[in-house]
Amino acid sequence: MKKIINNPTHVVDEMINGLVRAHDDLVYRVEGTDVVARNYEGHDKVGLVSGGGSGHEPSHAGFVGQGMLSAAVCGAVFTSPSVDQCYEGIKVANKGKGVFLVIKNYTGDVLNFEMAAEMARDDGIEVAQVIVTDDIAVENSTWTEGKRGVAGTVLIHKIAGAVADHGGTLEEVRQVAEAVNKNLASLGLALHPATTPESGKPGFELAENEIEFGIGIHGEPGYRREELRSSKEMAKEFYDKIKAYLHLEEGQKVVVFVNGMGATPLMEQYVFMNDVLDLFEADKVEVAKKLLGDYMTSIDMAGISLTVLKVDDDKWLDYINHPVETIAW
């Protein structure tokens, strides 16, 4: 294992310190915690909190700032943050109008954020949530009951954050986030597994000529392993599954989001995007917004994911285009 780290045990602590020192114009570390919060106060607006295990950078701390998250809770690598850490994130995000939680559907994340929400409610803080379930690869997998939450989470950060920034109520934020979640579909694949700092070895094995379809962002199993295929073939498989799931038809507006998994060159991401856009164009599905880059990674995994948002309300596009001040958007 070759990584630019010191002691693997301290990697998250040192990463958070480096992040807030590099971007101290936007964020700070809540003293005594692993919570990254925004400098922007956002008084009398709904606060947004997300988080989870580290290793998915820039998610989630990279999306803390005006117009998106109020705070991000950073767990250990691929490990849910504790109840106490989630509670601290909720408290710092509360600016008088309640706090909305964006939780990826992993058992530890859901349990710990929901327990923290109950603690916050006991303090008189109003809390609501969405559990993101955009991964359509498998119904149940490691650490989940039901569909996993993956890169589509970032689009919920963006849209819900814009609703809050516009002065929306906690219930309005919840309603929009739930509607967006129902119209999201994601699929990912791995060319090479991730290596966590403490283990020092890949999380699973793939032969040199193998890929795995439907992989999770922690290296959870997908739905098929086979020999490497062309970008066009991989794009077609994902496109067909997502099109069927979302019931996409001619004239439908969509947001198309190609996400790198951490070690995938931009050259390859653009090739994949080109192939994906050809498929939408052939079916006359209108691509109203395109996103590409490393937003929800898996440390150093080589791979890619495709997320599609079926736009049922044109306001969602306005929210995605709403200006923000964050590290990574």
Give the C-alpha separation, 155 to 309, whole Å: 8
- What pLDDT band is residue 202 in, cutting at 50, 70 and 90? confident
pLDDT at 141 exceeding the cut of 80: no
Neighbours of 181 (CB within 10 A): 23
Q: Which pLDDT value is given to residue 322? A: 98
Closest of 145, 215, 226 to residue 186, by C-alpha: 215
**Domain annotation for the chain: domains and CATH numbers:** 8-182 (3.40.50.10440), 184-321 (3.30.1180.20)
- What pLDDT band is residue 200 in, cutting at 50, 70 and 90? confident
Strands lying side by side in the sheet with 286-293: 224-227, 210-213, 184-192, 302-310, 253-260, 286-293
pLDDT at 70 exceeding the cut of 70: yes
- What pLDDT band is residue 142 in, cutting at 50, 70 and 90? low
- 202 phi and psi angles, rounded to 5 deg: -60, 145
**Helix intervals (H) in 247-297:** 266-282
Query: What are the distances in angstroms from CA 242 to CA 107, 109, 190, 239?
Result: 25, 26, 18, 5
pLDDT at 203 exceeding the cut of 90: no
pLDDT at 106 exceeding the cut of 90: yes
Closest of 222, 201, 203, 199 to residue 211, by C-alpha: 222
pLDDT at 195 exceeding the cut of 80: yes
Q: Which pLDDT value is given to residue 221? A: 85
Give the C-alpha separation, 137 to 155, whole Å: 19
pLDDT at 89 exceeding the cut of 80: yes
The 10 Å CB-count burial string (b at 16+, else e) for 66-82 is bbbbbbbbbbbbbbbbb
- Per-residue pLDDT, averaged over 79-104, amounts to 98
Contact in structure between 73 and 49 (CB atoms under 8 Å):
yes
pLDDT at 275 exceeding the cut of 70: yes
What average pLDDT is seen over the chain?
96
pLDDT at 143 exceeding the cut of 80: no
Q: Which pLDDT value is given to residue 240? A: 98
pTM above 0.75, yes or no: yes
Span 217-257, pLDDT tens digits:
998 889 999 999 999 999 999 999 999 999 999 999 999 99
What is the set of active-site residues?
56, 218
Give the C-alpha separation, 170 to 175, whole Å: 9
Give the C-alpha separation, 301 to 298, whole Å: 5
- Per-residue pLDDT, averaged over 38-49, amounts to 97
